[in-house]
Amino acid sequence: MGLYVCLTSAATRQRHPAKFDLITSDPPISPYNSSEFKSQIAVTMSDPDKQCSGTDCNNEARTLQCPTCLKLGVKGSYFCNQDCFKRNWTTHKVVHKTQNASQLYDPFPAYPYTGSVRPVYPLSPRRPVPKTIKHPDWAETGIPKREMRLSRSKWDLLDVKGQEAMRKVCRLAREVLDITAAAMKPGVTTDYLDEICHNACVERESYPSPLNYNHFPKSLCTSPNEVVCHGIPDQRILLDGDILNLDISLYHGGYHADVNETYYIGDKAEADPDSIRLIETTRQTLDMAIEIIKPGVPIREFGKIIEKHAASRGLVVVKTWGGHGINSEFHPPPWIPHYAKNKAVGTCKPGMTFTIEPILALGGNREVYWPDDWTNVTVDGKRTAQFEHTMLVTETGVEVLTARLANSPGGPIPIPEVANGNTNGKVKQ
């Protein structure tokens, strides 16, 4: 999706003790959800003359430091060994709660949230992109000036050179999505995932397209549970039972790529029939729409297929958001609705590159914005899921430029029959 409809919305709204292990590369686990918290101890390069923080312990601390204290900026939390850290955990963790309470906050405490998700601030500082990497025009000003001047009736058809450039940037986008998705698990923050994504983009000499697009503050969109789209990565940790959409866009070699998937977080999510029905049906609607792409197929046909299959599973299409063209511009025409009886004009032509990215909801399809003017959530607080690919129309059909790889994280799981309204407990393959 990138941040397409929010460009229009921006103008309209006038906003131009547990398990103790040594940490290796995993992030420290956040302290403010005690029911899910697994404590760990970090190996750091510290002063060997530091005294252990354990109660009544006079040993030298050497190189062991509490990882949560590292994350919260608490200094001096050194321990002599893991056993000492474990013995002192009950008293030591009070430091985390005190420090955390003074640093993490809800920026909109009076806002009537519709579901369980809350923003957890402060946001981390904007991550830099080296000047040696080609930047889109909004990187400095926050305004996509070229895109705003585009004709909505003119569609670009890519030549061989442009098609090869799109293949490359889409391959890179798939790599970045898979790297970011592999880092998901209960206990990590969405800001940590943003860091993973950002660094992976930079390593591939790519600019993360969402960064500063209409002043969006992060390098990807993270949308959990009732968040429809465009969630801002922050200090909220992922919980066992969440579902999470990762929406990744790259700019490389003068071209953009756009891809997103919704994932299960932890075993609880993979055991929830409604979440499975939602995610797998959404995945299927995208696949079914892709199957009919070929030259001459009307753009309006995709929505008919998507909404029909969604309704057959008791789900609704969120109609505000749609697919879009993508090439050297982030969101050029055409606009691609995901619902039936739409009035989209035009047909598929060889050389066209565009996205299809349906969003389905368990409840109603009405949405509302959080006060950050980005995070879009369902009015009834029910969950949504989304999937997206970037496609190239060929002479005979379609090429899915952001297709999953054999080792891509996630992937489909069977839908329980009970999730389709039956109660016999059988599983629908």
Binding region for Zn(2+):
247, 258, 324, 357, 388
Percent of residues in the chain assigned helix, strand, coil, to nearest 5: 30, 20, 50
- Measured CA to CA, the distance from residue 6 to residue 223 in angstroms comes to 15
Asked if 245 contacts 172 with a C-beta cutoff of 8 angstroms, the reply is no
Alpha helical stretches, state H, 232-335: 266-270, 273-291, 301-312
Asked if 393 contacts 39 with a C-beta cutoff of 8 angstroms, the reply is no
Which residues lie below 8 Å from residue 136, measured CB to CB, with a gap of 6+?
144, 207, 209, 213, 251, 256, 330
Look at the chain and count its residues: 429
- Measured CA to CA, the distance from residue 426 to residue 420 in angstroms comes to 10
Instruction: Cite the annotated binding site for a protein by residue number.
Output: 230, 331
Neighbours of 151 (CB within 10 A): 8
- Measured CA to CA, the distance from residue 206 to residue 179 in angstroms comes to 15
Instruction: Cite the annotated binding site by residue number.
Output: 230, 247, 258, 324, 331, 357, 388
- Measured CA to CA, the distance from residue 203 to residue 220 in angstroms comes to 16
- Take residue 106 and report the two structure tokens written for it: 């809800």
Q: Which helix (H) or strand (E) holds 123?
A: none
Give the type of residue at 168: K
- 213 secondary structure, DSSP code: G
DSSP string, 160-191: HHHHHHHHHHHHHHHHHHHHHHHT--TT-BHH
- Measured CA to CA, the distance from residue 366 to residue 163 in angstroms comes to 37
